[in-house]
Each structure stands twice: as structure tokens, then as C-alpha cells.
Amino acid sequence: MSINSLEKLIHLAEERNRKISSIVKEQKAKEQGMTERELTDKMLKYYEVMKQAANRGVFEQIHSISGITGGEGFKLWQAAEKGLSGSVVLKASARAMAVSNVNASMGKIVAAPTAGSCGIIPGALITVTEKLNKSDEEAVDALFTAAAVGEIIARNATLAGAEGGCQAECGSASAMAAAAVVELAGGSPRQAGHAVAFALKAVMGMVCDPVAGLVEVPCIKRNGMGAAQALLAADMALAGIESVIPPDEVIKAMGEVGCMLPQQLRETALGGLAATPTGKEIQKRVFGG
């Protein structure tokens, strides 16, 4: 059984009165010749890597190999209790940047769905799991929902910044995280779909413009913003707000917009922030010339 649309997946979950993650685990176990327990144990290992990266980055001021960035996750974590955005949002954003800091230092992360967007799902999911006092097993179930959303986006649009801009990387990660958080919070499969739509619409057209071609500026901060957007998208859906444009149409539109972006705005470091005077100066400082 191939599920290539979010509507099909949601309909199946509603028809069987089950969570999206339950449908996904059943399908993937059959496809991969594994038991659902084996599949869950495998995902638990990925989740543990996510937690380790997040914890390292919020308690250490990790600096990148290039020296351009460092300590963003640590700094925001210190401000989480007194910040204006609320501790849950700030902790999610801090963790997201922390994981991205680990990535920029060549540490171990889970590319979910890409290295450039690796902090968004951990930041949002770990924080909401903590907030709701959920178990690691429940968090991992939500990860299966996130994975299904990512697979559908990959099939119908793209997850690559080089193909679709940062909307395809950080945007997709935010959409995946939003769906996972909705399920974790007890929302319906339909609400998870609306959260996907909200998260993608919020960043439609976002360019991929890495300064000096490195996954640091503006990528680390975009990870922090992506986690915050995922939580807001989830809250909107859980409040009963619905997307006027169906999620699958939003996904398709994202892919089409990505194709419209000029080459300079698709991970080539030829446009956007990478082409600013400061961006060019950083390029020279890091690589010479």
C-alpha cells in the first residue's frame, strides 16, 4: 500500500479510528520486513541521537568549524524562562538551534529531513514531550507521523534546498514537526494535516541563501524560527482553525514555487544574504580569495 497523499493517509486513519503513526508503523513494518516493535526500537535510537544533540547544544557553547557561529542555542536556553515568547516556544527554539550548532561543529545529528533543517523536529518534539509529560515511546510514535509527512512532501514536491529553496528544508521540517506535535497533544489526523498546511504556508517562497555556502547563516536561526512556527501551527490546528487550501495542494504549490525560484536563490550562495557585502566578506574570510 503506497500512501502518496496526506488526504489518503488522513482518510485511512479516520476510517480505522487510529492515529496516523499507527497506520504508518503498520505499513512500514510490512514494507521493511520488520515487526512494529523492531521498527519502534530503531526510531528510538534516532530520537536518542536527537536528544543528545539538543542537550549538548543547550548546555555547551558549541562553535562551528568555520567560526562564523556558535552558542546560539545555549544563549536562548539561558533566556527561556524570562523571555517574551514564553518558555515552551523559547525552549523549542533553543533546542532547535542547539542541534543546528552541533551540526555546524560536525557533531552527530539526525538529518530530519535534512542537515540544514536538523534542529526543528527535535526542538519542537522534545519540548512538547517534556511539556505534556509524555514518554519517549509516545514521542517516537509522533516521529512516525512526521516521517510520513516528510515522505509525502518528498514525493509531491521536494525536501532539497538546492531544488526548492529553504521552504523545502526548514519549511518541510516545520510542517513535519507540526503534525507530530498535534498527534502528541491528542489532536486528530485531520488537525495534523491542517498544521502541515499552516507551517508550509508561513514560509512559502523562502529562499536558500547560505552565507559562504555553509549551513550556518541564516540556517541556525531559521531552525529556531521553524520550531516556533511548528508549535504555533499546531496550536492553530488544535484550536479548530482550518486551512482554506487543502494540505496536499499546499505541498504541491510549495514544489511549484520552488521551481520558479532563480538559481541564485537555491543553495548556490549567489543571492540573498550570501550576496550582501557582509556575506561576501565572510566568504573571503573563511575561504580566502
Dihedral in degrees, nearest 10, Cα atoms 66, 275, 171, 126? 20
Residue by residue, what is the 3-state secondary structure of 182-194? HHHCCCCHHHHHH
- Tens of pLDDT, residue by residue over 46-82, are 999 999 999 999 999 999 999 999 999 999 999 999 9
How confident is the model at residue 201, as a pLDDT?
Answer: 98
Q: What is the mean pLDDT of the chain?
A: 97
**Mean of pLDDT values over 234-260:** 98
C-alpha–C-alpha distance, residues 49 and 102, integer Å? 11
Q: Are residues 6 and 251 in contact, defined by beta-carbon separation less than 8 angstroms?
A: yes
C-alpha–C-alpha distance, residues 118 and 146, integer Å? 13
- Tens of pLDDT, residue by residue over 219-233, are 999 999 999 999 999
The answer, yes or no, to whether residue 1 has pLDDT greater than 70, is no
Q: Are residues 75 and 11 in contact, defined by beta-carbon separation less than 8 angstroms?
A: no
How confident is the model at residue 3, as a pLDDT?
Answer: 82
- Tens of pLDDT, residue by residue over 256-269, are 999 999 999 999 99
**Sign of the CA dihedral running 226, 181, 149, 122:** positive
Q: Are residues 257 and 249 in contact, defined by beta-carbon separation less than 8 angstroms?
A: no
> Alpha helices of the chain — where are they, by DSSP H?
6-16, 20-32, 36-59, 72-78, 87-104, 120-131, 136-156, 161-164, 166, 172-184, 189-202, 219-238, 247-260, 277-287
- Mark 20-41 as b/e (b = at least 16 C-beta within 10 Å): bbbbbbbbbbeeeeeeeeebbe
Number of C-beta neighbours around residue 263 at 10 A: 10
- Tens of pLDDT, residue by residue over 114-163, are 999 999 999 999 999 999 999 999 999 999 999 999 999 999 999 999 99
**Sign of the CA dihedral running 268, 270, 272, 277:** positive
Dihedral in degrees, nearest 10, Cα atoms 181, 187, 193, 199? -40
**120-131 vs 87-104: helix crossing angle, rounded to 10:** 140
